[in-house]
Amino acid sequence: MPDSHHLGDLQLAIMRVLWQHSEATVAQVHQALLPTRGLALTTIATMLSKMEKKGVVSHRQKGRQFIYQPTVQEEAVHQTMVGDLINRLFGGDTTALVNHLLTDQEIEQSELSQIKALVAERERQLKEPRHVE
């Protein structure tokens, strides 16, 4: 998967705003992140410019404003970043990641039930014969 899907913390926060709103101006992204980030408007503008060069956002111009849109889906970023996490921290061993989450993280009973249901669904999907045309 392309390296462009590896996002830093601020880039991911900006992408979440864009995914939520489909598009936004620098000022709108700044306003959305201001309560938690307290960054200058110019910092957001610079980061969006870098992200555009990286290929994860694009913009259109309306008057003097740039309106940014995400060019990658949230799921694609999740896949890239989780895959990287599994490879870097767990040597590519997904079972080790799941074991870590189950033993080292606090998990509510309701969350455990959801996980069991997801595993059961995935097992069902894997047992279904695939139709190749």
Give the CA-trace dihedral at 122, 125, 126, 131, to 10 degrees. -160
Residue-wise pLDDT for 31-67, tens only, equals 999 999 999 999 999 999 999 999 999 999 999 999 9
pLDDT for position 131: 67
Residue-wise pLDDT for 64-111, tens only, equals 999 999 999 999 999 999 999 999 999 999 999 999 998 988 889 999
pTM exceeds 0.85, yes or no:
no
The residue ranking higher by pLDDT, 29 or 104, is: 29
